[in-house]
Amino acid sequence: MGWFEGCDAGLHAVNGTTIFARCGGRRDAPPLLLLHGYPQTHAIWQRVAQRLADRFRLVIPDLRGYGRSAKPAGAPDHGNYSKRAMAADLVALMTSLGHARFLVAGHDRGGRVAHRLALDHPQAVAKLCVLDIVPTLTMYERTDQAFATAYYHWFFLIQPAPLPETLIGAGPAWYLRHTLGGWGSRGIDFIEPAALTDYEAGFCSPEGIHAACEDYRAAASIDLVHDRASRAAGERVACDLHVLWGERGVIARLFDPLGDWRAACTGRVSGRAVAAGHFIPEEQPEPTAEELARFFTA
């Protein structure tokens, strides 16, 4: 099967921005929104999408600031890169495609957007799957030397502009490949050449580097404001949630994925480790697709 064969690709004007998305799969099947993470694009889902196309109506976008989607300059409070803003982009996208209620799976930053989407728009999310994350607030509250060393980028990318932008900009392709080979993933041989080309095109420009930094700056500021307000109000994910984590990754080593998500969810929480590092959909596409299909059709 060819590269996203059977998928339409296009730009969508939603929520005051422009979001690129591929749409495919069965038109009469349940809609499934697949969200990528840093420093990637929708292309991380290519091999998983091949295996799910006959069971779901797939919508696979580039998040705001990534890939072919718009990359606005960051606002002073970083609010235009908040997970709330990104979640609103995706609800508007799905609504524009005729999907008022849908399934969501998010890897890495996409999982954080999906978490906020489920909190802000509970009526829209039928079920949620997150891959290799626990809630952002949980991770910041438990920061220690081991976490700060393993996820140094959480603290590097949030530095005021233009410090990280300038340093990454000195060798963006090298930095991208270094990042993709980390977090237990053992090199980048698992990445298809077409996907790596897409990652480089989306990330290796001044606008792409700045947007990624703004995503993380938002996570360390306005997102925490939103997360603390949700916690104070007793807001938790209401739908059933499935979590997958890489058995060689940082989340497996330093956190309790099932316990941490049970504390953030009133629905049923299930999940398991996968024989992978951080980039689960590419390292293990077949088990990932099987897990998603089983959970979302149960």
Question: Mind telling me the catalytic residues?
Answer: 108, 278
- Cα–Cα distance for residue pair 286/294, rounded to 1 Å: 12
Sheet holding 57-61, edge to edge: 8-14, 17-25, 57-61, 31-35, 102-107, 125-131, 240-246, 269-274
DSSP string for 89-153? HHHHHHHHTT-SSEEEEEETHHHHHHHHHHHH-TTTEEEEEEES---HHHHHHT--HHHHHHTTH
The encoded tokens of residue 91 equal 């609800």
DSSP string for 229-263? HHHHTT--B-SEEEEEEETTSHHHHH--HHHHHHT
Cα dihedral across residues 120, 38, 48, 195: positive or negative: positive
DSSP state of 71: -
Residue 35 neighbours by CB under 8 Å, 6+ apart: 61, 63, 90, 104, 105, 106, 107, 109, 110, 111, 113, 114
DSSP state of 298: -
Cα dihedral across residues 290, 242, 199, 32: positive or negative: positive
Cis peptide upstream of residue 287 (ω within 30 degrees of 0)? no
- Cα–Cα distance for residue pair 218/224, rounded to 1 Å: 8
